[in-house]
Amino acid sequence: MKILFIGDIVGEPGRRAVKELVPRLRRDLNVDIVVANGENAAGGSGITPATAQEIFNAGVNIMTSGDHLWDQKEVVNLLQNESRFVRPLNYPQGTPGQGSVVYQANNQPPVGIINLQGCTFMPNLDNPFTTIRAEVEKMRQKTNIIFLDFHAEATSEKAAIARMLDGQVSAVIGTHTHVQTADEQIFPGGTAFLSDAGFTGPHESIIGRDIEPIIKRFLTLQPQRFAVAEKNIKLQGALVDINAHTGKAEKIVRISEPLAESAKKL
């Protein structure tokens, strides 16, 4: 089984990359399931039902989120009504929405997808280490193919979660920093790991935003408007090949696919 994971989708350029590239990648890479982090899909901050629908229509099966979950008030409709949308598991009990889902593609075994948020340099949610242990134990009663999007700042926290879960989940892919790391590997127990999948959107930027306002903010410490950039659009993420019988990862490859029209502008 091949799962394509797409790193944080940023604004309209990121959505455009998904719409234009995902159908081809699904075909060329023989992808079974596409999971994408969409927390920055609406104007670069948050997500709405309309932007989520664009992404689903492009061929994404399940969408995860992160610390920008609440940036658009319309997200409540997604949390309450969209079974394909997953928010961080470690929000307090009673928070709308779901932290995990079991998805089954045509003629494929079920796959568990979990979204989790870190606590180091991040908003204070429930302890991700204790929360994820209980969820994985429960999910393994339904499937041994489990994919975790760990939305966290600290590389050490991401590595620690992945090492703790080695052999219990198929893959742990980090999101949030918008910088794709080069540490893809498969741990001894069969868990694929990548510290950060990168982001899908404009890469002639500072993590997806226009360059000059961010530099000015650092120079002056004065508020600036951080608009989404436009140039050098790429889709980033990872392709994980998982043994459908054992649930263990057999291969992980980083993905960094340029949008053709973006490449022509440079």
Catalytic residues: 68
**Cα–Cα distances in angstroms (integers) from residue 50 to residues 10, 82, 121, in the given order:** 15, 12, 30
Helix (H) or strand (E) holding 136: helix 128-139
| Residue 79, C-beta contacts closer than 8 angstroms, at least 6 positions apart | 85, 87, 96, 97
- For the chain, give percent helix, strand, coil, nearest 5: 25, 30, 45
CB 259 within 8 A of CB 20: yes
* Dist. CA 137–CA 145, nearest whole Å: 12
**Which amino acid belongs to residue 165?**
L
